[in-house]
A = this chain, B = another copy of it.
Amino acid sequence: MVNLNKIMKYFKHSKIPENILNRGQLVLKNYLKPIKILFEQKNVPTNPWTDEQIEFLLNVLSQMDTDKDMNASQVGEREARIASPLHLKISGGFCHGVGRSGFLTAPQPKAPGGSIMYEITNYLARDIMRNFGLPNIKAAIITPVATGMSLALALTALKPNRNKNDSNTKRTVLIPRLDHNSILKSIDFVGLYPKIVEGKLFGDAVRIPIEDIESGLNENCFAIVSFTSFFPPREADDVKAISKLAERKNLVHIVVNAYGVQSIEWMRLIRSAIDAGRVDAIIQSTDKNFLTPVGGALIASPHEETIEKISRAYPGRASASPVVNFLISILSLGIEGYNKLIKKQQKNRKLLEDLLYNFAKKINERVLDIFNPVAVAMSLQNLTQKKLFELGGALYNLRVTGPRVYDPNQKTFGNCIENYPIPYIVMNAAIGSTKKDIILAVERLEKAYFQINS
């Protein structure tokens, strides 16, 4: 097999002078060096890789899988045969998917390259979490399903074994109210039952007091799910207090940190929760935190065996694409790139608040006093129901995507509380958004506002 480190030697007697050959070898070496470092250290690179380098890695690894073996004779019913070369793109070349007999991280004999790829990716998942707020993490896995299904996966993996007499088995999950359908569906999906603790108003903010959570517990509860990132008026849970409660009551505790990696504050909450009590798993979206297409999640845990358990609970195999996407993101960003993104997010969040503050003053409204490092909410008390509805439509037509206009008289799901007193609009300055997004959004909000009021 060709040794790329020594291409030079094959052309020693060519017309190309040695110094030119040496230079070529040197440039190639620089190009390939990050791959070596990745293989050796299995850490997130400091600096971003180029797309060419990423593709080179994916290519080399996927060329290790047996579907690429032209000398093989393949007589299984599943051999990663493909109908079109286009499939290689969609899968990053990893046609065998991930998982084996329902054990996600089990090495696949037919996919040595795919197995290496997944192993490295999971190391990078752990490393990025350690670098950005959770040094107390022991293991992580990129699941090939998004946040909702990953919660289902974690819950079902960590549920208590069945009693002889199933009727006594604990099957209830305590949920500080969070109005997101996927969460509720996750719980139902795996045959569990939610017990929801209602939100309460604290000034503008909606929180679920730890006392209410504790008193909400009953004998059927085996787990609590707590939440960090969500949109106002709901604030993050007191994850630390919940972790202590979980420890005391011997409950599984899963933190849904959907898009929380971008925020130092939310990550600090989780870090202290791990240190103070019991956290079994922390689940985050790969698309919302790491700018991949939708489809994967990162589950991290302070306990290696918890990740192992979760990995073993998956029924069957799964697409490798969400895993490849995370790998691409992490390599194309590096520690440095992710740091930059976080810095930019912080600036944009500040800008969003400032702009909304100014606009609010102009129209006699106010920015709500709710802690949220990503989103900002502004009251819309001076708008009628009809106008609130029109405002949403006007923003859509002005191509502002993502804002939420709430009229709690109309729709309470989303407020995380019954009887939230005032209508409001929420906008996000999430990771990956641009200054232009923020400025345009507030400008257009202003335009829409005056439009519906004229």
- Given A28-B64, A33-B1, are A428 and B76 neighbors across the interface (CB < 8 Å)? yes
**Chain B: CB-nearest residue to A108:** B20
Are B440 and A84 in contact, CB atoms less than 8 angstroms apart? no
Are B87 and A328 in contact, CB atoms less than 8 angstroms apart? yes
Are A84 and B51 in contact, CB atoms less than 8 angstroms apart? yes
Residue A162 lies at the interface, judged by CB distance under 8 Å to chain B = yes
Name the one of B64, B79, B181, B332 contacting A83, with C-beta atoms under 8 angstroms: B332
Residue A147 lies at the interface, judged by CB distance under 8 Å to chain B = yes
- Tell me, rounded to whole Å, the shortest Cβ–Cβ distance linking A82 to chain B: 5
- Given A77-B402, A296-B319, A399-B72, are A102 and B191 neighbors across the interface (CB < 8 Å)? no
Name the one of B24, B29, B81, B401 contacting A433, with C-beta atoms under 8 angstroms: B81
Starting from the known contacts A11-B39, A145-B318, 19 additional A-B residue pairs (CB-CB under 8 Å) come to A10-B39, A27-B68, A30-B70, A30-B71, A73-B437, A75-B427, A76-B403, A77-B288, A83-B432, A87-B328, A91-B293, A97-B287, A97-B293, A148-B314, A156-B188, A166-B167, A171-B191, A185-B315, A293-B320
Pairs across A and B, CB under 8 Å, 22 listed: A3-B4, A3-B5, A7-B60, A16-B107, A20-B107, A25-B64, A27-B63, A30-B71, A55-B86, A73-B401, A73-B440, A75-B441, A87-B291, A98-B294, A148-B316, A152-B315, A156-B189, A166-B171, A189-B314, A293-B320, A293-B321, A294-B318
- Given A84-B332, A432-B81, are A119 and B5 neighbors across the interface (CB < 8 Å)? no
- Given A82-B291, A190-B191, are A75 and B437 neighbors across the interface (CB < 8 Å)? yes
Residue A292 lies at the interface, judged by CB distance under 8 Å to chain B = yes
Q: How many copies does the complex hold?
A: 4
Rounded to whole angstroms, the CA-CA distance of A27 and B71 in the bound complex is 9
Rounded to whole angstroms, the CA-CA distance of A105 and B14 in the bound complex is 12
Residue A394 lies at the interface, judged by CB distance under 8 Å to chain B = no
Are B320 and A78 in contact, CB atoms less than 8 angstroms apart? no
- Tell me, rounded to whole Å, the shortest Cβ–Cβ distance linking A143 to chain B: 11
- Tell me, rounded to whole Å, the shortest Cβ–Cβ distance linking A4 to chain B: 6
Rounded to whole angstroms, the CA-CA distance of A50 and B373 in the bound complex is 33
Are A399 and B69 in contact, CB atoms less than 8 angstroms apart? yes
Are B77 and A428 in contact, CB atoms less than 8 angstroms apart? yes
- Tell me, rounded to whole Å, the shortest Cβ–Cβ distance linking A437 to chain B: 5
Residue-wise, chain A 256-276 has the 8 Å CB interface mask toward B (1 for contact) of 001100000000000000000
Rounded to whole angstroms, the CA-CA distance of A115 and B65 in the bound complex is 33
Name the one of B30, B75, B321, B437 contacting A402, with C-beta atoms under 8 angstroms: B75
**Chain B: CB-nearest residue to A33:** B1
Which chain B residues lie closer than 8 Å to A201 at the CB level? none
Are B318 and A149 in contact, CB atoms less than 8 angstroms apart? yes
- Given A24-B112, A75-B402, A293-B94, are A54 and B84 neighbors across the interface (CB < 8 Å)? yes
Residue A375 lies at the interface, judged by CB distance under 8 Å to chain B = yes
Residue A360 lies at the interface, judged by CB distance under 8 Å to chain B = no
Which chain B residues lie closer than 8 Å to A71 at the CB level? 30, 399
Which chain B residues lie closer than 8 Å to A213 at the CB level? none
- Tell me, rounded to whole Å, the shortest Cβ–Cβ distance linking A287 to chain B: 6
Rounded to whole angstroms, the CA-CA distance of A19 and B87 in the bound complex is 27
**Chain B: CB-nearest residue to A430:** B77
Residue-wise, chain A 27-40 has the 8 Å CB interface mask toward B (1 for contact) of 11111110110011
Are B109 and A74 in contact, CB atoms less than 8 angstroms apart? no
Which chain B residues lie closer than 8 Å to A116 at the CB level? 7, 11, 14, 16, 21, 24
- Tell me, rounded to whole Å, the shortest Cβ–Cβ distance linking A446 to chain B: 12
Residue A92 lies at the interface, judged by CB distance under 8 Å to chain B = yes
Are B291 and A83 in contact, CB atoms less than 8 angstroms apart? yes
